Each structure stands twice: as C-alpha cells, then as structure tokens.
C-alpha cells in the first residue's frame, strides 16, 4: 500500500513465471487497472499473450510498461510495433499525442479542436479499453518511474461503488499463528467487524458467516481496523469455508477460471506416512491454490495434484517441506484429459433402500467446446416441488462428475432436470444426492462418449535451415502450423498441437538447434483426442467398478434395497420424463386415439410384479387387452349401413385406487401371518405399504375395510398420512361400497 500526491494505491504483485498464471488470473476480477510489464530485450512473449487474453477476458483496463530499456538490444520503435501487432493496435506511446488521440473519437475531436489531450477523456478511453498507454524505462535505474506514477494518477480508472455491501474473495492464506486469512476486495458498501454477511459459493447454497477481524496488509505487516470501505482490499478472519472466487452480499457470481492445468502428478509421500492422514493437511494448500486440485484415488491409494509446469512443482515440493516437514517427490506426470458426449441422452437415477426414496431424470446434451458445464431444469412443479428441484441442481453443481472412458472430468455439457419424484414420508435430502449422481452416470454409460485432450498454441523460433525439421516434427505430432515468417536468420512458426505430443518437445528444440531455438506454449483448450482407443485402453478404467461413482440404481423389493444394473433402470423407473430422444415424432393425422388414463394405469400395474401377484391371488389371472371401441348396435337388415363413427379420445381425470383391505391382507402371505396374531397390526402394515405406493404412483388411494357386522355402525372415513381409510357402515360390505 502506498500513496502518491493524488492517488492511494494497493499493489497486488503476482508471480511473473508462466507456471503461476492462475495466481495472476485470480486477482483480475478485483483490480481496477493492470500494469503489464514487458521485457525491453525480449518483447511480447508467449506468457505476455496469455496474460493479455486473461485481461481481455475479465475486461480489465491495462497500462503497459516496457522495462530494461537501458540494456543493449532494447529498441523502442520495434517494441511498440510488436505490441500493436501482437496485442492491440490501440497501444500508443503516452508521449505521442497524435497516436493517443486516434484511440477514441472523443479524444480525437478534442485534440483537433485544442491541439492538446484531455486527461478526463483519456482516462475514460483507458477505462473502456479503447486506449492502452505504453511507457518506457528501467526499473533498476529508476528511469521512467515518475512518468509511470503520473500516468497512473491521471489515467487510472476510479470506479463508482454501490451502497449495498458486496465483496469478492481472491486469495486464501494463513498467518504464522495458523489463522485462516480470507483476502477480499470490498466492491460495495462498508464491511465491518462483527457484521453477519451472506456468502455465495459458485457450487453450492449461500451460507451465513460473521467477520471477527479485519486486517489491512502492506507486505508482511498489517493494521487491524474496525471497517473497510468500498474499493479497499483487506484480509478477513471468521469467513471459514470460503474459497477464491466466492462472493459476499450483492456481488455478481464468479465467471470461473479461464486457465486449467494440463498435467497431473502423483505425490509420493514418505514410506511411514499414511496418504489418507496426509490428505487433510494437503487440502489446506488446495485452499490457498485452488488450481492444485488434490484428488484421492481410492483404487490406487494415491494422491494426485494438477499443476501448470515444472517450476510450480518445485515450489510445491519446497512448500510441503517447509509447512509440514515432509520430503515428497512426484512422478513424471500424465495428461489431464476431459470427456464429453456426442448426442443427447436421458439418464435415470433411482435410490430406494428401505425407508428412503428419490428418482431423478436428467437430459445430458453436448455443448460447443469450451462451454464447460451448464445446469438447467424444465421439470414442472406439478411433477416435482421446487425445493426438490433446487436441491437436485445443488447436487449437480457440488461435485466434479467423472466420465466413463478414463474417469476424467466431464465438460461441455448441458445437464437438464426433466423429471423426478419424491415420497411424502420417506424422502430425505441425501436420497436426491444419490439419485442425481446415479442419473448422471447412467446417462454417460449409454452415451457415445468422446475423449478430449488439451492442446497448446505454440510459437517456435528456429534457424532458417532447420525449418523443414520443425515442420516435419509438428506434422508428426498431429499439429497444425501457419505459414513460416522469416525474421533475419531465424524463422518463426506459429500453430497448434496436442499437449501430449509437445510436453517434452522443448528439449528436442534445444538439442537440434544447439540452443538457438526457442519454443513457447500457451494452453489453447480441449479438442477430441486423435488416439482415443489407445488412451482409454492404457487408462484401464472400469466405470462399473468405480464404487464412488456407481451407474446402477437401488430399488425396493420385498422390503429390502436391491441393486439394479444401469441398463435395466429405465424400464423400472417410476416416472417418465415425457421425452423420446432419437425417436421420430408421429404425425398427428396418423396417430390413433389417445390412450385413456385408466389404460395407462393398467400398464403400470403390470410393471409392479408384487402388486400384480396380489391381484391375481385375490381375483384370478388379469388379462391385459388393448382398448376396443364399442360395437355398433344391431340394426334391422332393411336399415341402411350406418356411417363409420368417430371415437373421441377419452380425457383421463385424477387417478383413484380403491383397495378391499381384508381381501388384500388375507391374500398376502406376509400380512396374513401378521393378522393371525394381531389384525390391527396387519391393517396398519397394509396402510403403510399403500402410503408408500401412493408416494410412488401419485394416485388417490382409498382402502376399504368391512364393518358391516358392527351393530349400529355409521361408517367412517379417516385420513392416514397420505391415503384415506374407510370403515363401512352396518350391513354394507366393502364390495358394495367400492361398487357404489
């Protein structure tokens, strides 16, 4: 923290190495302006382009400072031309008034009228990213530093903050005493000690927290304060559970990181250290560096971590030694793949062990590359209450869903809730978690899955005689190149290639160019893997043996939970989404009359083997038959032949099921055995079973018990949980009541 004559500045200094680009990205949503440093001897490099794209992604105003201008080879004109070509044609030297004026119509009009630049208009152009001021100097010699500070005073944007409290978390750290520090920027209102705030997580429900202390840090020193106004950066204590990217109050949700690590390494712990005991401590480092993504592989009993490169690997190794005293090593690393699907599918998940119930139907549809995961719902609230729908969407967001080819995370999918069902009595929150996870996996198991691999954008500089070798290498790696550009004795190639092919290519370049060549790689994104079959075979992943991500469902049979294989789940589902993926729509004019609700209900009874068996034991075999129109009445032979009649579709109303209670009890062996000892217990057990049945079928259940022998009985109708229980009056049988 420092102040100039006109400005109070909080400087967030991020690491400059390419391996630590995610740290630079985390501060971009909270900064008002970025100062981008470019080496005067090297010019715009691959990492400069990475940072530039990130700043563009977050819409951050930028001021460029070309450093090391005191060294041989630093050419101001060439650097400016390089920046205008590689970054933006709106890059302009600040001491060149004409170039600055050309960046904005308002600036140009004022310059033509007055012959001078207006600071307010220039600052507005910087804020709108219409102008990128360029300054030159040498930090070591303090050359150009005064001009830089004056430029920041006059051109740095000054945001206007709202009155409502809002803040954005950008870093998690721990002080020497072990206190958890949540670094954030207040983007609205005033944050005070002991104030309760609403915290928003991108992957979960809002939570309430209370600030216990506020610190204004400057380097390693800090000052404890009672409140922090909008625009300031501080460290808060008491906000446990929050991570970088979370927001407080009315702040807009985080957009998500644009950079992703492309390599995964196994942490090899000391022999006497249990990996499962070490994992909770390593999770503390993951809070500070979310891109690490510590993953516990239960099958191999190993901890894997995702990193950007070798330098970050060395830093992590040193940090673990300093923080926990462990000497760890890493394996050679493997590529971090992703998975997606080629066409929409419907996934069904059912979870119904004893006294639990939930069913979820999801539509998984592919999205364009780079879209990530999108969650939505088209389920009617008449089918599933809104609170259950919100819970399902929360469960979709809270977990990293794995594909079925290599167990890699899925991406570029829209997952839509189409239908679901809960039980009034037996459904709990955890039931929908299980049903949701199983629905995703069941959908992936039946989909056409595509393996995605990471790609680099590369820039390769080699001596002109070696261009043929370089082009041959890129072609062998399955990459693509633009036409070569000659730069004196060197030739520059730009193109794209898979990370798996280029991960060790920098060493080859150094070898065959004898140190004169240079390779720079920037993560481009994910694309379909060219050698999917061999990668999947090498991974050896069996999705049906992944106990943490089962595709099968659990149904209730004979009072116990039974696991049903994923391919058999749709046929046993209790609710339909109404979607027919891949089936041609029938033409309305060729369709027959709609099936009545009663006929559809007969179909569902046939699927319920237990209840069907009860009916057959009670009433004999039940013969299924399709709807037949009534025969026309007989007419005298002299009567003319009647016209063909149009049978109107019957509109189904609400569905009712009437049950003769004692018939069912004495036809069901289990209930009959209970009735021998206690008839009341048998009646209650039957009513409990019918309550469950009503929760599944969503029909109106009325169970009727004979009471016709009760002298003076007037009959009664009682509500038992979600069904009705009827006791008939004197001289009225259950059959008579049901027929009536």
User: 621 vs 598, 668, 672, CA distance in Å?
Assistant: 19, 16, 21
pLDDT averaged over the chain?
83
How much is the pLDDT for 511?
A: 85
Average pLDDT over residues 272-280: 83
C-alpha–C-alpha distance, residues 83 and 134, integer Å: 9
Whether the Cβ atoms of residue 375 and residue 397 lie closer than 8 Å to each other: yes
Lowest mean pLDDT of 9-18, 62-71, 293-302, 395-404, name the range. 293-302
**CA angle 613–674–564, rounded 5-degree value:** 45
How much is the pLDDT for 257?
A: 60
How much is the pLDDT for 166?
A: 87
pLDDT band per the 50, 70, 90 thresholds, residue 413: very high
The answer on pLDDT for 435 being more than 90 is: yes
Give just the sign of the alpha carbon dihedral 455, 456, 457, 460. Answer: negative
Whether the Cβ atoms of residue 420 and residue 382 lie closer than 8 Å to each other: no
How much is the pLDDT for 612?
A: 61
pLDDT band per the 50, 70, 90 thresholds, residue 465: confident
pLDDT band per the 50, 70, 90 thresholds, residue 300: low
Whether the Cβ atoms of residue 705 and residue 726 lie closer than 8 Å to each other: yes
pLDDT band per the 50, 70, 90 thresholds, residue 290: low
Whether the Cβ atoms of residue 62 and residue 36 lie closer than 8 Å to each other: yes
The answer on pLDDT for 595 being more than 60 is: no
Burial 724-734 (b: 16+ CB within 10 A, else e): bbbbbeeebeb
How much is the pLDDT for 80?
A: 92
Select the more confidently predicted residue: 631 or 655.
655
C-alpha–C-alpha distance, residues 301 and 268, integer Å: 11
Structure tokens belonging to residue 132: 């990128």
Lowest mean pLDDT of 57-61, 599-603, 699-703, name the range. 599-603
How much is the pLDDT for 637?
A: 47
pLDDT band per the 50, 70, 90 thresholds, residue 633: very low
How much is the pLDDT for 142?
A: 92
The answer on pLDDT for 588 being more than 90 is: no
- DSSP per-residue string spanning 29-55: GG-S-EEEEEETTT-S-HHHHHHHHHH
pLDDT band per the 50, 70, 90 thresholds, residue 624: low
Largest separation between any pair of C-alpha atoms in the chain: 120
Average pLDDT over residues 99-106: 87
Q: Collapsing DSSP states into helix, strand and coil, what is residue 298?
A: coil
Select the more confidently predicted residue: 354 or 612.
354
Q: Collapsing DSSP states into helix, strand and coil, what is residue 671?
A: helix
The answer on pLDDT for 592 being more than 50 is: no
The answer on pLDDT for 233 being more than 80 is: yes
C-alpha–C-alpha distance, residues 64 and 37, integer Å: 6
Average pLDDT over residues 675-679: 88
Reference 574, options 401, 400, 421, 449; nearest CA is: 421
> What are 714-724's pLDDT values in tens digits?
888 888 888 99
């Amino acid at each position: 923290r420092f102040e100039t004559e006109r400005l109070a500045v909080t400087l967030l200094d991020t690491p400059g190495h390419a391996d630590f680009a995610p740290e630079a990205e985390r501060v971009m949503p909270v900064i008002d302006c970025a100062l981008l440093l470019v080496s005067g001897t090297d010019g715009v490099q691959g990492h400069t382009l990475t940072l530039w794209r990130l700043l563009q992604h977050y819409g951050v105003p930028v001021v460029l400072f070309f450093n090391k201008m005191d060294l041989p080879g630093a050419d101001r004109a060439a650097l400016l031309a390089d920046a205008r070509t590689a970054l933006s044609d709106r890059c302009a030297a600040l001491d060149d008034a004409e170039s600055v004026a050309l960046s904005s119509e308002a600036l140009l009009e004022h310059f033509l009228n007055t012959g001078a630049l207006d600071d307010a208009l220039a600052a507005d152009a910087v804020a709108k990213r219409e102008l990128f001021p360029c300054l030159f100097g040498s930090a070591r010699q303090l050359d150009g530093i005064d001009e830089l500070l004056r430029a920041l005073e006059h051109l740095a944007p000054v945001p206007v903050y709202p009155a409502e409290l809002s803040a954005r978390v950008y870093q998690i750290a721990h002080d020497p005493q072990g206190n958890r520090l949540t670094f954030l920027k207040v983007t609205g209102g005033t944050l005070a000690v002991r104030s309760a705030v609403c915290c928003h997580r991108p992957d979960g429900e809002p939570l309430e927290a209370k600030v216990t202390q506020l610190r204004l840090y400057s380097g390693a020193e800090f000052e404890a304060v009672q409140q922090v106004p909008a625009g300031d950066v501080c460290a808060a204590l008491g906000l446990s559970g929050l991570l970088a990217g979370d927001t407080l109050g009315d702040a807009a949700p985080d957009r998500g990181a644009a950079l992703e690590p492309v390599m995964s390494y196994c942490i090899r712990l000391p022999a006497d250290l249990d990996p499962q005991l070490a994992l909770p401590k390593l999770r503390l480092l993951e809070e500070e560096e979310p891109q690490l993504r510590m993953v516990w592989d239960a099958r191999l009993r190993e901890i894997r971590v995702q990193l950007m490169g070798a330098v970050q690997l060395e830093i992590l190794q040193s940090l673990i030694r300093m923080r926990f005293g462990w000497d760890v090593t890493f394996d050679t690393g493997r590529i971090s793949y992703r998975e997606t699907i080629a066409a929409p599918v419907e996934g069904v998940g059912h979870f119904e062990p004893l006294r639990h119930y939930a069913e979820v139907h999801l539509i998984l549809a592919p999205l364009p590359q780079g879209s990530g995961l999108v969650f939505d719902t088209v389920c009617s609230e008449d089918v599933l209450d809104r609170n259950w729908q919100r819970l399902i969407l929360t469960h979709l967001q809270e977990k990293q869903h794995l594909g079925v080819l290599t167990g890699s995370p899925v991406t570029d999918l829209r997952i839509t809730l189409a239908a679901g069902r809960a039980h009034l009595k037996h459904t709990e929150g955890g039931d929908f978690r299980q049903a949701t996870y199983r629905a995703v996996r069941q959908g992936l198991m039946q989909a056409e899955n595509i393996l995605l691999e990471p790609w680099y954008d590369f820039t390769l500089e080699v001596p002109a005689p070696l261009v043929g070798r370089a082009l041959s290498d890129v072609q062998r790696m399955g990459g693509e190149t633009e036409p070569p550009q000659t730069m004196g004795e060197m030739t520059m190639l730009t193109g794209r290639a898979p990370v798996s092919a280029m991960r060790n290519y920098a060493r080859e370049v150094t070898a065959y160019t004898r140190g004169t060549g240079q390779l720079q790689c920037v993560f481009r994104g994910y694309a379909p893997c060219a050698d999917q079959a061999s990668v999947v075979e090498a991974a050896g992943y069996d999705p049906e043996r992944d106990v943490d991500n089962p595709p099968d469902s659990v149904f209730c049979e004979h009072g116990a939970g039974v696991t049903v294989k994923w391919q058999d789940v749709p046929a046993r589902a209790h609710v339909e989404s109404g979607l027919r993926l891949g089936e041609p729509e029938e033409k309305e004019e060729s369709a027959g009359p709609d099936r009545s609700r009663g006929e559809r209900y007969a179909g569902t009874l046939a699927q319920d083997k237990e209840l069907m068996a009860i009916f057959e034991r009670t009433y004999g075999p039940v013969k299924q038959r399709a709807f037949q129109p009534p025969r026309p009445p007989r007419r005298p032979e002299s009567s003319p032949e009647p016209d063909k009649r149009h049978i109107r579709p019957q509109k189904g109303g609400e569905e009712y099921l009437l049950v003769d209670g004692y018939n069912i009890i004495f036809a069901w062996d289990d209930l009959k055995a209970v009735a021998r000892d206690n008839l009341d217990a048998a009646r209650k057990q039957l009513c409990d079973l019918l309550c469950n049945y009503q929760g599944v079928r969503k029909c109106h259940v009325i169970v009727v018990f004979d009471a016709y022998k009760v002298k003076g009985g007037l009959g009664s109708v009682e509500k038992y949980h979600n069904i009705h229980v009827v006791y008939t009056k004197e001289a009225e049988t259950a059959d008579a009541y049901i027929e009536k």
